[in-house]
């Protein structure tokens, strides 16, 4: 494990998947990250590449050739190299292998740098194209936030405050791919999304088209717990379908899962990123961990 610290936070990251394991308040010992209880979900904050979400028939098509590519790609299970260590930051790197070309037909190099800035953890993504052809890919974050007010006896475990221009949500359907219909955002009278089984009856709330700029997870008393901010054009909010769960994931995605029945070329996948040879793409998110007992209003 790699650990970075400042006066506010201590963050631990595993080289497997370059995945955040813990984000702890130094003064109070409060743990903000979901701790991966497999009864609900064993992940914590995986990195998604070279695909986000489901692909129709688990297949990526490039120039008429089909490549088997699993949901969310494959780098979240890989051992990453530590490229740089500093007291308040750590950088991980991963390069494509010959075996990867069977699922993703381009060489690549990834870097993820975690940097502490006060009570924030900045996750900076970089993708290099070392090859000779244009590369198409998607990338995303998947941080899980613990809900300290969770109770099996209460139907709501917290709330989401969404920042942006909300126009409606898509739903994941067959094979985890999206249907064409757009649905209203499930909001309370004071404009919050309740974290409940009903909210995630269709697996996730999917916001495309740059609707979301940031999201704050609130407790049941509406006190802020954590805020995620990103320039990603797509956001998902996820908790296990049909299960009352003690966490929620706020996921900024640079890409989107396939529409149901999609059999087009990878270049036509929703919100695909294009990277020319020798170029670098950048993205990421900032996770800010709140403190105190003030409420949103």
What mean pLDDT is reported for the chain? 95
Distance of CA 9 to the CA centre of its chain: 21
Q: What is the pLDDT of residue 94?
A: 98
* In the chain, % of residues over pLDDT 70: 98
Is the model's pLDDT at 293 over the cut of 60? Answer: no
Sequence-distant (≥ 6) Cβ neighbours of residue 38 within 8 angstroms: none
Instruction: Tell me what pLDDT residue 233 has.
Output: 98
So where are the chain's domains?
A: 2-289
The rounded distance, in Å, linking the Cα atoms of 93 and 182 is: 38
For 197-241, write each residue's pLDDT tens digit: 999 998 899 999 999 999 999 999 999 999 999 999 999 999 999
| Cα distance from N-terminal residue to C-terminal residue, the chain | 39
pLDDT, position 203: 87
How far are the Cα atoms of 39, 99, 197, 252 from residue 202, in angstroms, in the given order?
19, 35, 10, 19
Of the options 3.40.50.2300, 3.40.50.720, 2.70.98.10, 1.10.1060.10, the CATH number for the domain spanning 2-289: 2.70.98.10
- Confidence check: pLDDT of 294 > 50: no
Cβ neighbours of residue 278 under 8 Å, at least 6 residues apart?
Answer: 129, 130
Can you tell me the mean pLDDT for 240-264?
Answer: 96
Contact 269, 136 (CB under 8 A): yes
pLDDT exceeds 60 at position 25: yes
Q: Pick the closest to residue 188 from 153, 162, 223 (CA basis).
A: 162
Confidence band of 291 (pLDDT split at 50, 70, 90): confident
Chain-centre distance for alpha carbon 161: 17
**What DSSP assignment string belongs to 96-110?**
--TGGGGTS-S--EE
pLDDT higher than 50, residue 149: yes
Q: Which residues pair with 187 in a beta bridge?
A: none
| pLDDT of 292 strictly over 70 | no
Structure token digits, residue 67? 């490549």
């Amino acid at each position: 494990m790699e650990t970075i610290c400042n006066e506010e936070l201590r963050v631990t990251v595993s080289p497997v998947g370059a995945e955040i394991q813990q984000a702890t308040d130094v003064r109070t010992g409060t743990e903000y990250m979901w701790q991966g209880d497999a009864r609900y979900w064993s992940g914590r904050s995986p990195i998604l590449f070279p695909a986000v979400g489901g692909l129709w028939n688990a297949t990526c098509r490039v120039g008429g050739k089909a490549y088997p590519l699993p949901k969310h790609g494959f780098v979240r299970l890989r051992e990453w190299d530590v490229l740089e260590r500093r007291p308040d930051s750590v950088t991980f790197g991963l390069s494509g292998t010959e075996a990867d070309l069977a699922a993703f037909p381009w060489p690549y190099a990834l870097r993820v740098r975690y940097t502490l800035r006060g009570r924030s953890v900045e996750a900076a993504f970089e993708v290099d194209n070392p090859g000779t052809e244009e590369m198409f890919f998607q990338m995303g974050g998947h941080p899980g936030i613990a809900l300290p007010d969770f109770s099996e006896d209460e139907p709501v475990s917290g709330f989401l405050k969404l920042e942006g221009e909300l126009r409606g949500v898509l739903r994941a359907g067959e094979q985890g791919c999206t249907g064409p219909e757009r649905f209203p955002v499930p909001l309370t009278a004071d404009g919050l999304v309740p974290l409940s089984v009903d909210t995630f009856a269709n697996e996730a709330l999917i916001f495309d088209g740059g609707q979301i700029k940031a999201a704050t997870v609130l407790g049941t008393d509406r006190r802020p717990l954590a805020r995620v901010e990103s320039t990603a054009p797509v956001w998902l909010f996820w908790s296990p379908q049909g299960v009352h769960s003690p966490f929620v994931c706020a996921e900024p995605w640079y890409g989107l899962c396939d529409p149901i029945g999609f059999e087009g070329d990878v270049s036509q996948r929703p919100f695909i990123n294009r990277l020319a040879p020798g170029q670098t793409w950048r993205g990421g998110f900032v996770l800010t961990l709140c403190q105190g007992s003030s409420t949103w209003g």
